[in-house]
Amino acid sequence: MTEANPTHYTGTVNRWAVETALAHLGRCSGVASNSVNPPLVRASTTVFQTLEAFKDSYKGIVFESPRYGRSGTSTNFELQSAMAQLCRAQTCIAMPSGLSAIAAVLGAHARTGGRLLVQQGVYGPTQALCDIVPAPMQCRVDYFDSPQSLACKLAPDTALIFIEVPTSLTMRMIDVEAVCAIAADRKIPVACDATWGTPIFFDAHGLGVSIAIHAATKYINGHSDVMLGLVTGSYEALASTRAWCDRQGSHVSADACWLALRGVRTLHLRMQRHFASAMAVASWLEQHPQVERVFFPALPSDPGHALWLRQFSGAPGPFTIELKPCSEAAFERFINALQLFGLGTSWGGYESLVMPAIAHHLRALPVQPDAGRLVRFHIGLEAPGDLCRDIDAALSCLEAVA
Ligand SMILES: *Cc1c(COP(=O)(O)O)cnc(C)c1O
């Protein structure tokens, strides 16, 4: 097994509590500048002192050692090694966005005559990608919705199993350990979109996942100003993905990595607050007369609650509600009346957001509810009482005569 770049931090997170690790990981290159934070190193060209050093640069692991700007600078390496240690993985590869990370993992495993088994209800753009990635290679994509249906669909040609916990919008849980046990019997890699749980609440590799994908655009950066994907795993599990990224010219700017490193310092603190506030707002919404249902596995009423308890140590800010049926005009008044919730896609920043599930997103739903509109909230770091009051005032618009 190849050693990580020895100039990187060599301690192990296991010795420390996570919040201690977050304060200390990814800071080695600061030594050169006598600064607390690692310097932001931007580069297209990397220069070498000797021919030997130049030749050696091609023996190192791409995206992990200086070679050419495309494979990153010390700033990228700092973030990647911090994330790898946080996830207790051997290595991490940064990619331009969460979706590009998913595209890399799917693309690296789509092979001629092979088959990708994808969980129903994964992030909509992931499904859209599944429509086109495998086609040129005559690779097939099949969907499953439980470990049982996965077991039925497994075949010798299965190249990858792809899951997301919980699924986007519908927030459905799947038994990750059961999926990984089925896959391990046949030595099939399991990739998991672990964005929702973050490494703070969800130990993907501990549950058996070989390739964990994080849209670091969300909580890891946490400040709504960076697009970034991070993929973690063993060197072996990520070998084909790394080669794919190298061939495709994948590159992440040092600025994005530097900002994400800054964000990660407070990840633990932010996640605890998102958890407490999301619980408060979701429990309150569950009792609201205008709300039909709340999809949030951290609530005891959710069908995925037992699995959530087993697989997660907390829950972040996004959850979905189904409203009681109402007219489109009333629905529009409700959305437009929200003052503390920005109307937008994404989540994971410090601020609260609302996203009505419009036709574009509904593709991600295995079952479309025939009545009642779906609305996804992201509970930010504001006071939960203020957020409840804001939603309450907006929901009163639904009662007004349509
Ligand atoms: C946002 C998101 C992505 C995509 O990440 P980007 O950085 O926006 O491309 C992937 N998966 C999940 C679950 C997401 O929420």
**pLDDT tens profile 145-181:** 999 999 999 999 999 999 999 999 999 999 999 999 9
- For position 3, what pLDDT does the model report? 38
- For position 372, what pLDDT does the model report? 77
Q: Which atom of ligand 1 is nearest to the CA of 228?
A: 7
Confidence of residue 402 (pLDDT cuts 50, 70, 90): very low
Reduced to 3 states (helix: H, G, I; strand: E, B; else coil), residue 337 is helix
Mean pLDDT of the chain: 92
**Which has more confidence, 85 or 7?**
85
Q: What distance in angstroms lies between residue 48's CA and the mean position of ligand 1's atoms? A: 37
Other residues' Cβ atoms within 10 Å of the Cβ of residue 49: 7
Q: Which atom of ligand 1 is nearest to the CA of 318?
A: 15
Looking only at the bridges linking them, the beta strands covering 158-164 and 190-193 are: parallel
Confidence of residue 4 (pLDDT cuts 50, 70, 90): very low
- β-sheet bridge partners, residue 342: 353
Q: Whose CA is nearest to atom 6 of ligand 1?
A: 98
Nearest of 162, 170, 154, 158 to residue 130 by alpha carbon: 162
Nearest of 18, 34, 36 to residue 82 by alpha carbon: 18
Q: Each residue of 230-264: b (16+ CB within 10 Å) or e?
A: bbbbebebbebbbebbeeeebbbbbebbbbbbebb
Give yes or no for residue 98 CB within 6 A of ligand 1.
yes
Distance, in Å, from the CA atom of 159 to the CA atom of 188, rounded to the nearest integer, reads: 6
pTM greater than 0.75 (yes/no): yes
pLDDT digits (tens, 9 = 90+) for 98-114: 999 999 999 999 988 89
Give yes or no for residue 221 CB within 6 A of ligand 1.
no
Ligand 1 pocket test: pick from 95, 99, 106, 250 the residue with the most ligand atoms within 8 Å of its Cβ: 99
Q: Catalytic residue positions?
A: 70, 123, 193, 218
Q: In the chain, count of helices (H) and strands (E)?
A: 15, 12
Give yes or no for residue 162 CB within 6 A of ligand 1.
no
CB 278 within 8 A of CB 319: yes
- For position 171, what pLDDT does the model report? 96
Q: Which atom of ligand 1 is nearest to the CA of 218?
A: 1
Other residues' Cβ atoms within 10 Å of the Cβ of residue 359: 7
Q: Which atom of ligand 1 is nearest to the CA of 346?
A: 1
In the predicted structure, residue 186 carries a pLDDT above the cut 90: yes
Q: What distance in angstroms lies between residue 170's CA and the mean position of ligand 1's atoms? A: 15
Looking only at the bridges linking them, the beta strands covering 140-144 and 374-378 are: unpaired
Confidence of residue 355 (pLDDT cuts 50, 70, 90): very high
CB 128 within 8 A of CB 183: no
pLDDT digits (tens, 9 = 90+) for 309-323: 999 999 999 999 999
Of the chain, the percentage scoring pLDDT greater than 70 comes to: 93
Q: What distance in angstroms lies between residue 54's CA and the mean position of ligand 1's atoms? A: 37
- For position 363, what pLDDT does the model report? 53
Ligand 1 pocket test: pick from 171, 213, 218, 259 the residue with the most ligand atoms within 8 Å of its Cβ: 218
Of 3-12, 99-108, 187-196, 342-351, the poorest mean pLDDT is in: 3-12
Give yes or no for residue 97 CB within 6 A of ligand 1.
yes
Beta strands in 131-249 (DSSP E): 140-144, 158-164, 190-193, 211-215, 229-233
Other residues' Cβ atoms within 10 Å of the Cβ of residue 99: 19
In the predicted structure, residue 131 carries a pLDDT above the cut 90: no
Distance, in Å, from the CA atom of 74 to the CA atom of 66, rounded to the nearest integer, reads: 8
**Cα 31 to chain centroid, rounded:** 31
Q: Whose CA is nearest to atom 5 of ligand 1?
A: 98
Q: What distance in angstroms lies between residue 96's CA and the mean position of ligand 1's atoms? A: 11
User: For the chain, what's the residue count?
Assistant: 402
